[in-house]
A and B are shown apart, each in its own frame.
Chain A
Amino acid sequence: MQAITVKVGLASCGIAAGADEVYRKLENYLMENVRPVKLQRTACIGMCFEEPIVELSGSEAGSVTLGKVTADNIATLVEEYLAGGVPSSHVILAQKQDAPRNALLANQKRIVLQNCGVIDPKSLEDYEASGGYQALRKALTMSGDEIITEVKESGLRGRGGAGFSTGLKWSFAKNAQGPKKYVVCNADEGDPGAFMDRSVLEGDPHKIIEGMVIGAYAMGADEGYIYCRAEYPLAIAHLKVAIEAAEAKNYLGNHILGSDFSFELHIKEGAGAFVCGEETALMQSIEGKRGMPTIRPPFPAESGLWGKPTNINNVETWANITWIILNGAKAFHAMGTEKSPGTKVFALAGKIAGSGLIEVPMGITIRDIIYKVGGGMKTEKPFKAVQLGGPSGGCIPAELLDTTVDYDSINATGAIMGSGGMVVMDSGTCMVDVARYFLNFTQNESCGKCTFCRIGTRRMLEILTRITEGKGVMEDIDRLEDLATNIIKGSLCGLGQTAPNPVLTTLRYFKHEYIAHIQEKRCPAGACTALLKYEIIPEKCVGCTACARKCPVNCISGSVKQPHVIDQDKCIKCGACYKTCKFNAIVKG
């Protein structure tokens, strides 16, 4: 019997789906039964919708990945593989034969996620075996200027959302005067619906560390911070292990790998404030203050952390550096489009079949992402819109599905590339409600410094709430547009400047939904509770009384075996009757 390797995906999403239990069960099984199995931990391969995921490799059947594994069937599945075959069920990916998810992975291009779900994130040896820290060795033979030129020529743009040239940003920090400089990794991933950075930090922490060491060497910084939100305990734990291991092998610390270069790296945990993703607020927070943005200029490159020149990049940006150093600017520029080279990681969520983490070359269309990489819609309800960029972004409608993914094309739609959250919505999602949801979020997270952001977003939220409750008037639409313009003009940082985007894009593409709420007092998606109306179709009602017994306010009347009626004045629109009826006799409208 050949020795095989079993890897269990133990990232946050896997654990939430029960992967921990699968791992423990198999561990116990292998203790009780002597089998030629090497059990390993890995992180997230990205197919969250198939979690818990287990990869089997080492037999002649080739590597096989299993999805939706349970603690009850893991041992049986491993035995089937040990016997030389491919397990009869649960196979999602297979090296030597067709498998249901093979195509989804084939349409990706993985650079940033190269090691995620493949190596054990807690093992430096695993990272080294996959080529880890070779880029650093190469970089240390280059001059700082040579590295920066390479990054500039690669065309890499900031993956945090704004898309500024990374090489140019580095050259500003490099040219700034002063003996003390800092580099910072922005891992304060706060956009609801986005989990790209979490997966990279959990799955491949050394890649970020190596990228930062190279950047620090190029810019002449001797100290760095990774600012990670506290809601990601596993990412922080993996980073801590990785930093200790890197220090022990002199990838961090004094005279790195025998050179003259020394670099110290710290982790700073956030404390729960979305605005800290903005770079000036983030630096305030590292210094231990309230995370309120400051005026630029001076830019961080001149005066950042504790007044010293500082360079801040997002997790995904740092994760691209090692690849660029090892493979060269030209190879990087050959991927993606002329103005947006490389790849982009997206977190797919919402009403999509294959929710999870993907990495695709820039220039792919949104349609291909949803249907060829994401497996299409989750249910039979048709596609309505995709939300990009979280609270700073916007909704792209069905007619623009062929928009290509690059910074400029996406900006032209009114949405933004953002950090990579992509939430798919179907006909059951109300666009006014989505706008209200995001305004509620930004209104809560506004730090309060700028009046327009603090009060303007509150007024917008009030108007949107009014509309979803059927109390809106047509003038409200003009008021929303007026407020949006002023909030954009009157806010200091990106939070306020982009807060109106969800409203502006939904007004641009889904104005008819606003009008339906205001004029017809109707929610076309059937999502706004206050505007819902439940009615019983007399022809379909058999008079079973199930709904009347379930109604919490006793507003359904009728005799047994006779059609029932809902008293609309008393109805609280809880939907209990709708869910109870077995005869589809109750309609929601």
Chain B
Amino acid sequence: MQKDFVKLDALLERYRGKKGILIPMMQEVQDLEGFLSKDTMRYIAAKMDIPAAEIFGVATFYSMFRLKAQGKHIIRVCKGTACHVSDADGIKDALVEHLKLPDGENTTSDMRFTLMEVACLGCCSLAPVIMVDDQTYGKLTPEAIPGILEKYSF
């Protein structure tokens, strides 16, 4: 993707001189570019006069920050306690199987899906739960997975 420096610079300028800005600023940059590349992080560091190590430190500390490009649709598997005791592992296995994820990767090779685990989506009464983009699917069985993926395979 071609970098949109005009948008990025305008975004950074809005944060200049304010306190406690690093995390919301990086979140907004990530929303703009999809993920935080090393180049982007170095660029922010130089532009905002923040040590690159500090930016990288924050980016690796918080799970919301992504250092790699991700698929078009994000699938979040809830691993909360209620989901765990309702066989969330079986749901995850079914997803891995149907997405045919390459070993050690969480994004499909056609860049359509990225699979993530989240600690808890807070819909415990619907366990086990997954969230595809902003849509939540509850009371799942491994058999229901292909039908859900089908909806996003365009």
Q: How far is the CA of A210 from the CA of B61 in the complex (A)?
A: 33
Indicate whether A293 reaches chain B with its CB closer than 8 angstroms: no
Q: How far is the CA of A273 from the CA of B62 in the complex (A)?
A: 5
Q: Give the most central of B54, B82, B84, B86: most A CB within 10 Å.
A: B82
Q: Is the Cβ of A17 less than 8 Å from the Cβ of B23?
A: no
Indicate whether B119 reaches chain A with its CB closer than 8 angstroms: yes
Residues of A within 8 A of B19 (CB): 287-288, 306
Stretch binding the partner chain, chosen from B39-47, B100-108, B122-130, B146-154: B122-130
Residues of B within 8 A of A189 (CB): 122
Indicate whether A231 reaches chain B with its CB closer than 8 angstroms: yes
Give B71-95 interface residues, CB cut-off 8 Å to A: 79-82, 84-86
Stretch binding the partner chain, chosen from A122-130, A344-352, A363-371, A503-511: A344-352
Residues of A within 8 A of B122 (CB): 12-13, 189, 194-195, 198, 231-232
Q: Which of A51, A192, A198 contacts B119 (CB under 8 A)?
A: A192
Q: How far is the CA of A15 from the CA of B120 in the complex (A)?
A: 16
Q: How far is the CA of A17 from the CA of B18 in the complex (A)?
A: 41
Indicate whether B35 reaches chain A with its CB closer than 8 angstroms: no
* Distance from B12 Cβ to chain A, minimum over Cβ atoms (Å): 14
Q: How large is the interface on B (under 10, 10 to 19, 20 to 34, 35 or more residues)?
A: 35 or more
Residue of B nearest to A16 (CB): B136
Indicate whether B67 reaches chain A with its CB closer than 8 angstroms: no
Q: Which of A194, A269, A287, A441 contacts B27 (CB under 8 A)?
A: A269
Residues of A within 8 A of B58 (CB): 288-290
Contacts A16-B129, A271-B62, A421-B81 hold; do A194 and B22 have CB atoms under 8 A apart? no
Q: How far is the CA of A285 from the CA of B120 in the complex (A)?
A: 20
Contacts A269-B24, A271-B23, A355-B125 hold; do A231 and B81 have CB atoms under 8 A apart? no
Indicate whether A425 reaches chain B with its CB closer than 8 angstroms: yes
Contacts A271-B63, A272-B62 hold; do A288 and B23 have CB atoms under 8 A apart? yes
Q: How far is the CA of A193 from the CA of B88 in the complex (A)?
A: 13
Residue of B nearest to A196 (CB): B122
Residues of A within 8 A of B120 (CB): 190-195, 231
Q: Which of A48, A274, A423 contacts B81 (CB under 8 A)?
A: A423
Q: How far is the CA of A350 from the CA of B54 in the complex (A)?
A: 40
Q: Is the Cβ of A192 less than 8 Å from the Cβ of B24?
A: no
Residues of A within 8 A of B21 (CB): 288
Q: Is the Cβ of B27 less than 8 Å from the Cβ of A271?
A: yes
* Distance from A293 Cβ to chain B, minimum over Cβ atoms (Å): 13
A-contact 0/1 string along B36-71, CB 8 Å cutoff? 000000000000000000100110011111000000
Q: Is the Cβ of A274 less than 8 Å from the Cβ of B124?
A: no
Q: Is the Cβ of B136 less than 8 Å from the Cβ of A192?
A: no
Residue of A nearest to B21 (CB): A288
Residues of B within 8 A of A15 (CB): 136
Contacts A15-B136, A269-B27 hold; do A274 and B127 have CB atoms under 8 A apart? no
B-contact 0/1 string along A28-54, CB 8 Å cutoff? 000000000000000000001101000
Indicate whether A286 reaches chain B with its CB closer than 8 angstroms: yes
Indicate whether B121 reaches chain A with its CB closer than 8 angstroms: yes
Q: Is the Cβ of B125 less than 8 Å from the Cβ of A351?
A: no
Residues of A within 8 A of B125 (CB): 13, 48-49, 51, 349, 355-356
Q: Is the Cβ of A48 less than 8 Å from the Cβ of B126?
A: yes
Q: Is the Cβ of B81 less than 8 Å from the Cβ of A272?
A: no
Q: Which of B63, B64, B81, B136 contacts A193 (CB under 8 A)?
A: B81
Q: How far is the CA of A230 from the CA of B121 in the complex (A)?
A: 11
Q: Is the Cβ of B61 less than 8 Å from the Cβ of A273?
A: yes
Q: How far is the CA of A23 from the CA of B10 in the complex (A)?
A: 39
Indicate whether A224 reaches chain B with its CB closer than 8 angstroms: no
Indicate whether A323 reaches chain B with its CB closer than 8 angstroms: no
Residues of B within 8 A of A437 (CB): 81, 84
Q: How far is the CA of A289 from the CA of B86 in the complex (A)?
A: 36
What are 12 A-to-B residue pairs whose CB atoms are below 8 Å?
Answer: A13-B122, A13-B126, A189-B122, A195-B123, A231-B118, A287-B19, A306-B19, A349-B124, A390-B81, A423-B82, A437-B81, A438-B81
7 closest A-B pairs by CB: A349-B124, A288-B22, A48-B125, A272-B63, A271-B62, A193-B81, A16-B136
Q: Beyond A189-B122, A192-B84, A349-B80: 20 further Cβ-contacts under 8 Å?
A: A12-B122, A12-B123, A16-B123, A16-B129, A17-B138, A48-B126, A51-B126, A198-B122, A230-B64, A231-B120, A268-B20, A269-B27, A271-B27, A271-B64, A288-B19, A288-B20, A289-B22, A355-B125, A438-B81, A445-B119
